[in-house]
Amino acid sequence: MTSSTDTPARSLAHQPALDGIRALASALVLCFHAGFGWMHGGYFGVSVFFTLSGFLITMLLLTELQAGGTVSLRRFYARRLRRLLPASTACVLAVLAARALGEFQLVAGFSAQMRGAVAQVSNWVQLAGSSSYSALFAQSAALVSPVAHYWSLAIEEQFYLLWPVVAVALARRARRAGRPVLRPFALLTALCALVAPAIAVVAGPDAAYWATPARLGEMLVGATAAAWLVNGGRVPARTRYLAPPALGAVVALAVLLPAGSGPAYTGWMTPLALVSVVLVLSLQVPGAVRSALSLRPVVWLGTISYGVYLYHWPVFLLLRQHGWQLARPGGFAVAAGITLAVSVVSFYALEQPIRRCHSAPGRTYVVAGATM
């Protein structure tokens, strides 16, 4: 076996194991939201999505810039809208339909919550309402917003809106100055890692959890790894030995992180994102973990993970309101089954047809499925 593999040119090829990471992250989030007592920090699955998204989006941007000297931001934003808007809108419409049928009547500020979801500012709506993330699980399901989970989608959308412009500008400036592109990315990541704890001190733990500036570092860790790869970084074959401990660390963090306190509320999630990026990089070379995460059922779940995340929350709330105990095997099986069924219909009947109608041949990158 050679000492290194996966050159930058290969990095945009479809990597099934990265779909596997999405499947893993989805499973962590679902178990956490179901209320399993042993899954204290399943919200770390969202952090994994943040880091993976930063990695894949930046790979796309920098590879396009490297290949052609320019990046079509119009095409980038069009791809994002086609990927995210159909299912996101469908979920909002489904919630409104449920409301019309008598569900979610006790949710305070329902209209503001829905506007925040549509405008992709849900995280700021939550913060303005002085709402704690942990409080979502400490009250009756009838009182919880069915679109509260849009907070993470909002952070990613805000990142996608600004990051392409910033990333391309940083890369071009570094090239003109004859400096490595990696340097400004790493410096920006370090800055965000320092800003997040400051936000926790100045604005409080809820701001550390909800506010976009406090969570940017998790995405920028992935972006920095992408900058390293695109600009000549090579992953040694022995890196595959890091995959098992990295995978174990991701699961351990999801199990062990405290639910209502800890790094997510003190601004220290960026350092933990290094675990996620080590896993991503270790999957760039063949190994047992890459093979496991590339199994067809796992990859399939990762492929529909965006819909799984979107639809699971209102489904879980509805079942809870009607007396289902989701932390029991039977209840969880029903909740997960309904979520999967809705996600499959959404993916094959709505999301895929729209993407196929508007995507030019050869332009659909693996990054198109990066979000969650």
> pLDDT by residue (tens digit) across 215-249?
999 999 999 999 999 988 899 999 999 999 999 99
Q: Show pLDDT as tens, one digit a residue, over the chain (372 residues).
A: 433 444 343 445 689 999 999 999 999 999 999 999 999 999 999 999 999 999 999 999 999 998 888 899 999 999 999 999 999 999 999 999 999 999 999 999 999 999 999 999 999 999 998 778 888 888 899 999 999 999 999 999 999 999 999 999 999 998 887 788 899 999 999 999 999 999 999 999 999 999 999 999 999 999 999 999 998 889 999 999 999 999 999 999 999 999 988 999 999 999 999 999 999 999 999 999 999 999 999 999 999 999 999 999 999 999 999 999 999 999 999 999 999 999 999 999 999 999 887 654 444 333 433 334
Within 10 angstroms of residue 89's Cβ, the number of other Cβ atoms is: 13
> pLDDT by residue (tens digit) across 153-163?
999 999 999 99
Roughly what angle, to the nearest 10 degrees, separates helices 73-100 and 329-346?
130
Alpha-carbon distance 84 to 86, whole Å? 6
361: Cβ contacts below 8 Å, ≥ 6 apart: none
Six token digits for residue 227: 């900058």
φ, ψ (nearest 5 deg) of residue 234: -125, 140
φ, ψ (nearest 5 deg) of residue 43: -60, -15
pTM for the whole structure: 0.92
Classify 10 in phi/psi space as left (phi over 0), alpha (psi -120 to 50) or beta: alpha
Roughly what angle, to the nearest 10 degrees, separates helices 16-34 and 243-256?
20
